[in-house]
Amino acid sequence: MTIQKVLYLGYVWPEPNSSAAGSRTMEFLRLFRQQNWQVVFASVAALSPHRADLSALQIEEKQLTLNCDSFDEFILSYQPDLVVFDRFFTEEQFGWRVERHCPQALRVLDTCDLHSLREARHRLLKQALHTSTGTVPALLVPATEHATLYRSMCEEDVAQREIAAIYRCDLSLMISQFEVDLLRDLFQVPDYLLCENNLMLVPENSAQQNSPGFDERQHFVSIGNFRHAPNWDAVLCLYQIIWPRIRARLPHAQLHVFGSYPPPKAMALHQPAQGFHVRGWAEDAHAVMQASRVCLAPLRFGAGIKGKLADAMACGTPSVTTSIGAESMCGELPWAGVIADELDAFVDAAVMLSNDLDQWQLAQQRGREILQTHFNRSVSSTLFLQAILQARAQQQERRAQNFTGAMLRHHSLKSTQYMSQWIQLKNQAAKPS
């Protein structure tokens, strides 16, 4: 069974300059085209002015309508060999239609990160903040023990929905080894359904070697899509508790906060007199990172691996982050900067890296080692393609093994199908005659 046609069902149109998820999507699409596979990228999302130029890769764009039979006509005509679902809710929306009209297609889910894990950690953070009312929070990074996270995840239906989608697909792409271990060890997901691969658009190592030196850089930087809840929480954490302490020790320090889609509440934090600058959209995030001396990423919850921190290493910019920020990114290697889960330690690290040339250069070297060991694009690309082709070759055998997935497709997709058809009929009835 070969692959010649690919259908990529995107939750949004890929924006590599807006998010790590957009960069990851573009890496996959480029890799598919390098195999001379025909690719169609389809989405129900509105066309974005910041989206990548897919036509440059000879990729056709298809605008979809949710809960509409027009998708059935399209997929019957196209007949893809591989369908990639961008996040589990896209699989919920279109999985039943793919199975009905194109059952032979290999179904691959790109989780981007484990949404149910991120939400569980957010919930744990809120609980911790609630119990610390009246005191200054010391970052309060939620627990990372598998057992604690498992219990929290099981409290909400997001985990049931997300893991059901994983079972219904032939292969799920996981960006974090931590998440693979959690799914395998606690949720008992079979190994053959999971593929850990951290492929994303990270600049080549030469970018760090040619980047400005310590004396040519200045200021702190923070960057991240404002629509992503962990990023917004990190900005608030910087503004409310971290930056005032850094500024007290470095009176002339400046922090520049970049990110796509800044809401008015974010721009309202812009306080130049305090050295806190909310810049919003960055035309070239790598140029911004290279011009900065230290990257600050006080991530108190989240999942997956953090594109901003991989970019920082590639641009030769040491970072201060939390254990959640650095999760699954460096293995046993020392971090390219400092990992700090306590407020005082975080502030101390930021001040130290901004002033100490030797420690700054050591962090930069550690970043190079992490990229070479854990983010080798050639190795990641090869392993990814091998996993896809192996899943295709073993498709029938794996589906026969995966009774849980077959059962979930029978029951869950029927309910999804009927709900979609009910919405479609309701929308048709609401149209003026």
Residue 132: helix, strand or coil by DSSP? coil
Residue with tokens 């869950």: 412
Superfamily of domain 5-201+378-430: Glycogen Phosphorylase B; (3.40.50.2000)
- In angstroms, the CA 372 to CA 377 distance is 9
- In angstroms, the CA 68 to CA 224 distance is 34
What strands, in cross-sheet order, belong to the sheet with 106-110?
Answer: 60-63, 38-43, 5-10, 82-86, 106-110, 171-174, 194-196
Task: Count Cβ neighbours within 10 Å for each residue of 239-263 and write b for 16 or more, e otherwise.
Answer: bebbbebbbeebeebbbbbbbbebe
All CATH 3.40.50.2000 domain ranges of the chain, comma separated, are 5-201+378-430, 205-374
E runs forming strands in 161-293 = 171-174, 194-196, 220-223, 255-258, 276-280
Give this prediction's pTM: 0.91
Report pLDDT for 204.
Answer: 59
Q: Torsion angle, CA of 18/20/21/22, rounded to 10 degrees?
A: 40
- In angstroms, the CA 411 to CA 111 distance is 22
Spans of the chain below 70 pLDDT: 133-137, 201-209, 412-433
Farthest CA pair distance, the chain:
74
CATH of 205-374, one of 3.40.50.1860, 3.30.420.40, 3.90.1150.10, 3.40.50.2000: 3.40.50.2000
Question: Over the Cα atoms of the chain, what is R_g?
Answer: 22
Contact 387, 195 (CB under 8 A): yes
Contact 269, 239 (CB under 8 A): yes
Look at residues 122, 193, 116, 187 and name the one whose alpha carbon lies nearest to residue 158. 116
Report pLDDT for 209.
Answer: 62
Contact 423, 67 (CB under 8 A): yes
Report pLDDT for 417.
Answer: 64
- In angstroms, the CA 383 to CA 388 distance is 9
256 Cβ contact list (under 8 Å, min separation 6): 219, 220, 221, 222, 277, 279, 288, 292
Residue 337: helix, strand or coil by DSSP? strand
The number of residues in the chain equals: 433
136, two tokens: 């200054």
100, two tokens: 């009905």
